[in-house]
Structure 1
Amino acid sequence: MSALADGEPERCELRVVGRSRAGEPLEMLTVRGGPRSALVMAGPHANEPVGAATLVTLARYVLAHPEVREELTWHLLLSSDPDGGRLNEAWSCSWPVHLEEYHRGLYRPAVGDQPECTFPVAGFSGQLPETRAVMAVIDEVRPVLSVGLHNADTGGAFYLVSRPESGLVDVLASASDRHSIPLEAMPSDCIGLPSPGPGVFVVPEPRGLADRPPAAPGEWQPAGASSMHYAARHGGLGISPEVPVWRTLPIDLPAAASAAYLREAAQVLFRLLERFPARPTVFRPAVEEQVAIMRLMARIADENPADSANQDLSLLVPLRGAGMLLRHAEALLAEGAGDARLRREQAALEDVFRAWYAKAEQALRPVPFELRQLVGYQLDTILGAARLCAAT
């Protein structure tokens, strides 16, 4: 991004808009154009690196095509969680990515440690420094379009949006068809959300803490709102285009079997974690969150059996937890907090990881998409949404 800014100083400005908790700069490239603003952010979650490649491609495209600057000035944030991104560098800096390598090197923070998930709602004031930096950018530029570039593990392409813009259905269908990426009919984290058309799901702003129903014991619950909701307060359209990293085979996993598998996996990880030393690492709360997510997914599967059948994440979320628990064990041993007992527990966990991976790999047969497909899809998504916003 610095090379682009240096090469086009009359059109570009690269500035630091904030600092991460570890002191990493949050850099934003502004490409000057029309009177209204579009904000595009990569890396909203630490384990989602596709958007960084898309953002660089978008910057080059915007500079080379003056027509996309006629109505909009573009603000491009390379990562809203650089600290978390660094903990995924073992697998995220090369392509293609193998499913096992990904899960062994994965880090996905607990929700309260994710900048994208700690925007304000009533009663919640746990904004992280990175969140506050993005809030300041949104308050300053008031984007008519705010895009968080997410990527899923498997499945198909879909949108999470802040309001039901019907034109996005056609944008998604066109981008999906052009880049040969299937649409996702019902993502597991979209069950129960309203939809204006195939693959597009409207995410209501999270309720305030006092208005939320009490969570079941041990189940996951959200922290704050997201960047799309914060942008919507200024009237902007928020969109999160999800794209899968791996193409997979359809699986046959009834909801009841999925719920049973998730509950068993959650119990296995919980018991293993309890046998580890109590000393904390950055990975321990992340593992605890995956256990809570599995418990919630199991209940949702019980309550929504039609939509919860054949969900890839039922096989992959346990792997996320096991992979991060292995990293937790490695961190404890590196700090000198382990002993022969910890090594035995680590060996038992390794057996669990291998069994769960074998089950997932056999069922899904994952094949990585080409990076150019994923970047092309996200680029088309951004430009299509920008045309919608520029026309209103």
Structure 2
Amino acid sequence: MFARISQLAAAVPAIEAFAGVDELNTRIGEIARDHPDRTELSRIGSSRLGEPLWSLTVHGGPRHVVVVAAVHPNEPVGGLTSVQLAGLLAEDDELREELGCTWHIVPCVDPDGTRLNEPWFTPPMTLESYGRSFYRPAPDEQVEWSFPFSYKGHFFDRVLPETVALMRLIDETKPMLLCSLHNGEFGGVFYYLSRATDALNEQLAALPLNLGLPLHTGEGEAAFIEQIAPAVFRSFTAEEECDFMLELGIDPARRTGGASSGAYAARYGTAYLATEVPYWADARADDHTPLDISYAALLVERGRHTAETTRVLEGVLAATRADLTVRSPFLRATEAFLPYLADAAESDLARAARPESERPAVVAERFHSTSGIQSARIRFGGMLLRALAAEIAIGNGTPAIRGGHDRLAGVYARWLAEAEMPQPIPLAKLVGVQLGAILATATAIGE
């Protein structure tokens, strides 16, 4: 079966651009219209701004799989994957019957946020076009991290309408597998799994390698996340994150989000897969050559750069705050993420002081460090620029706001000049990896 899955992953046709909300809705609707005998299009809810949320059901067996795209609206590869998967399952009777599953495919669970990113979906995609039109919601406004949560006195119940829709879909289907489609920016492919086997781990690693893409085998997105195989990490929980923050002396109350979709679905025995693919590949993500610098020194370097980035953004925000009149999504996100950046800097400096950090760093760790700093600058600097530009656009261009915008624009231009800009990966390869990972995991979990 995996040989066929690999062929399907490699056979994804060329894709010229990311798909926006309207295109995704149109394409998923066309699949439902063209295959009425095996598909069903259902509205599962509404967004905060009133947009319908759609799920395409492809009937194929008693076990259920839920596939969700745009859980983070700055990650549009999953939208392309969702319509590719839906079309494949609707058209390929043999594949659908062999898998023996009924599929529930949500091509865009956060249309409001996705529309705010659409300006950079048009090619050519550059780091500047991406950063200046970037939007990632504040943690408590993310579908992926706004499920109910209560742990050690920390409580979250500000569940979003989009999250309620996804909760309802999970409750109704009690899926054997939940696939959350993600993508990052630089480096290699990696996965989060709640239920792994050696065979599945090997298959997931083989998919990107077969398409000429590197794996991300360096450190995880956070130090407490367990790597269970090359490029495969165990899916983590909000409880684990809180415990890690307590261990480092950081107040978990600074964490403003809730639990994840995978944690919510676990009550039904649901396995969880998140597939993370980058826009820009870099072989250093899988290079474990030792460096002439200790891991502790690398952590200190990253912590200091992150702290400096935070100070720059906090300074601009403080200088303009009194004149700000629009609680735009960009402002809410900036205000929410700056404490996270400060905590990340504090965490790195605290970990650097631990004895186990006194070892040689490797190339993959250096790459993760430098790309993380670059990502923070490009993402959060871009969102604050958008927040200030929004004020100017409505005629609130006070001297403080215009001055803050100009100062940040100058720093941002320097950050862009210092950033590395590798060649983008063909979108068909990214879709192929996600498509193959979904099919391989569904096969393994269903056995």
Measure how far apart 1:68 and its partner are. Answer: 3.2
Secondary structure (helix, strand or coil) at the match of 1:115 reads coil
8 Å CA contact retained: 1:290, 1:317: no
Secondary structure (helix, strand or coil) at the match of 2:149 reads coil
Taking a change above 3 Å as real, the CA distance of residues 58 and 264 of structure 1, as seen in their structure-2 partners, is same
Please say if 1:77 is aligned against 2:134: no
Residue range with higher mean Cα deviation, 14-23 or 222-231 = 222-231
Measure how far apart 1:380 and its partner are. Answer: 0.6
Query: Can you list the C-alpha shifts for 1:205-236, whole angstroms capped at 9, x where unaligned?
Result: 32299978567379952511111111221111
- Aligned partner letter, 2:277: V
Distance 2:244 2:215 in 1: 31
Please say if 1:319 is aligned against 2:381: no
Distance 1:299 1:219 in 2: 15
Which residue does the alignment assign to 1:109? 137
Secondary structure (helix, strand or coil) at the match of 2:275 reads strand
Measure how far apart 1:193 and its partner are. Answer: 1.5
Which residue does the alignment assign to 1:185? 217
Query: Can you list the C-alpha shifts for 1:265-312, whole angstroms capped at 9, x where unaligned?
Result: 100100101111232322112112332232222233231555854321
Match of 1:237 among 230, 252, 271: 271
Distance 2:95 2:253 in 1: 45
1:303-314 mapped onto 2 (5 Å cutoff): 303=351, 306=361, 309-311=366-368, 312-314=371-373
Residue range with higher mean Cα deviation, 95-104 or 26-35 = 95-104
Taking a change above 3 Å as real, the CA distance of residues 188 and 101 of structure 1, as seen in their structure-2 partners, is farther
8 Å CA contact retained: 1:146, 1:228: yes
Secondary structure (helix, strand or coil) at the match of 2:33 reads helix
Could you tell me which runs of 5 or more consecutive residues in structure 1 were left unpaired when the two chains were aligned: none
Distance 1:210 1:36 in 2: 34
Match of 1:262 among 297, 302, 306: 306
8 Å CA contact retained: 2:224, 2:244: no
Match of 1:176 among 208, 221, 226: 208
Match of 2:54 among 27, 35, 40: 27
1:184-203 mapped onto 2 (5 Å cutoff): 184-203=216-235
Query: Can you list the C-alpha shifts for 1:114-166, whole angstroms capped at 9, x where unaligned?
Result: 11111122232111110010000000011111101100011110011234444
Measure how far apart 1:343 and its partner are. Answer: 1.4
- TM-score by structure 1 length? 0.92
Distance 1:244 1:212 in 2: 26
Distance 1:174 1:220 in 2: 38
Could you tell me which runs of 5 or more consecutive residues in structure 2 were left unpaired when the two chains were aligned: 1-27, 286-290
Distance 2:338 2:128 in 1: 20
- Aligned partner letter, 2:436: D
Measure how far apart 1:179 and its partner are. Answer: 1.4
Secondary structure (helix, strand or coil) at the match of 2:187 reads coil
Distance 1:97 1:327 in 2: 18
Q: Percent identity?
A: 36
Please say if 1:6 is aligned against 2:33: yes
Match of 1:373 among 420, 429, 432: 429
Please say if 1:246 is aligned against 2:280: yes
Residue range with higher mean Cα deviation, 82-91 or 294-303 = 294-303
Taking a change above 3 Å as real, the CA distance of residues 67 and 190 of structure 1, as seen in their structure-2 partners, is farther
Distance 1:348 1:60 in 2: 48
Which residue does the alignment assign to 2:125? 97
8 Å CA contact retained: 2:117, 2:135: yes
Distance 1:195 1:370 in 2: 27
- TM-score by structure 2 length? 0.81
- Aligned partner letter, 2:336: E
Query: Can you list the C-alpha shifts for 1:307-334, whole angstroms capped at 9, x where unaligned?
Result: 8543211221122111001100111112
Secondary structure (helix, strand or coil) at the match of 1:15 reads strand
